[in-house]
Amino acid sequence: MARISDVPQPIDPRDSNRAESSRQRETTESQQSQTSNIDSVSLSPDARETEALKTKLTAEVRNTADVREDRVADVKARIASGEFGPNSDETKQAVADALLNQMGV
């Protein structure tokens, strides 16, 4: 059977000790509920390693020249020597094949 002391009683505003105790309890409960709502993320070692590799490769790509100077020089030399002409069927086919490869066709 329930006792009257087991039932929460209203706070008497004239009783400063009970009111303060109730405020402290509410503050503590509020703080506990706020800390339990904090999200966190934990990365596996593989994920960290993957991210580090991605960062390294991105930096390496940024430092790589957009134009391959060695290839440009080679083509210029071959054109100058008459090895192949820029308007030849062979050159046109090579350019077309390279474009199709880049597009994944």
**pLDDT single digits (tens) 20-61:** 666 777 777 766 665 556 778 888 989 899 999 999 999 988
pLDDT, residue 68, reads 83
Higher pLDDT, 69 or 13: 69
pLDDT at residue 21, rounded to an integer: 66
pTM score, two decimals?
0.30
Query: Which of the pair, 83 or 95, is modelled with greater confidence?
Result: 95
Q: What is the mean pLDDT of the chain?
A: 79
**Alpha helix segments (H runs only) across the chain:** 16-36, 45-62, 69-81, 89-103
